[in-house]
Amino acid sequence: MDCVPALDEPLKKVLGPATAKVMAEHLGLHTVGDLLHHYPRRYEERGQLTHLADLPMDEHVTVVAQVADARLHTFASSRAPRGKGQRLEVTITDGSGRLQLVFFGAGVHKPHKELLPGTRAMFAGKVSIFNRRLQLAHPAYELLRGDAEETVETWAGALIPIYPATAKLESWKIGKALQTVLPSAQEAADPLPESLREGRGLVPLPEALLKIHRPHTKADIEEARARLKWDEAFVLQVALARRRYADAQLPAVPRRPRPDGILAAFDDRLPFTLTEGQRKVSEEIFADLATDHPMHRLLQGEVGSGKTMVALRAMLAVVDAGGQAAMLAPTEVLAQQHHRSVTEMMGDLAQGGMLGGAENATKVVLLTGSMGAAARRQALLDLATGEAGIVIGTHALIEDKVQFHDLGLVVVDEQHRFGVEQRDALRGKGKQPPHLLVMTATPIPRTVAMTVFGDLETSVLDQLPAGRSPIASHVVPAADKPHFLARAWERVREEVEKGHQAYVVCPRIGDEEDGAKARKKSPEDEAEKRPPLAVLDTAEQLARGPLAGLRVEALHGRMHPDDKDAVMRRFAAGEVDVLVATTVIEVGVNVPNATVMVIMDADRFGVSQLHQLRGRVGRGSAPGLCLLVSEMPEASAARQRLNAVASTLDGFELSRIDLEQRREGDVLGQAQSGTRSSLRMLAVIDDEEVIAEAREEATGIVAADPELERLPALRTALDALLDEEREQYLEKG
48/42 Cα distance (integer angstroms)? 13
**Average pLDDT score over residue span 641-652:** 82
Q: Bigger pLDDT: 419 or 628?
A: 628
Inter-CA distances, 407 with 325, 327, 388, 435, 579, Å: 6, 11, 11, 9, 38
pTM of model > 0.85: no
623/67 Cα distance (integer angstroms)? 61
Percent of the chain with pLDDT strictly greater than 90: 22
Phi, psi of 365 (to 5 degrees): -110, 155
What band does 598 get if pLDDT is binned at 50, 70 and 90? very high
Q: Bigger pLDDT: 48 or 374?
A: 374
pLDDT at 677 over 50: no
Nearest in space to 603 (alpha carbons), one of 644, 659, 556: 644
Mean pLDDT of the chain: 80
pLDDT at 670 over 60: no
Q: What is the pLDDT of residues 151-198, one digit of tens each?
A: 434 443 467 788 887 778 878 788 888 888 888 888 888 888 888 999
Question: Are residues 231 and 717 in contact, defined by beta-carbon separation less than 8 angstroms?
Answer: yes
Query: Which DSSP state fits 356?
Result: T
- Terminal-residue alpha carbon distance, the chain: 27
Pairing relation of β-strands 388-393 and 296-301? unpaired
Which of 301-315, 518-532, 576-590 ranks highest by mean pLDDT? 301-315
Is the dihedral angle over the CA atoms 692, 452, 698, 208 positive or is it negative? positive
235/726 Cα distance (integer angstroms)? 13
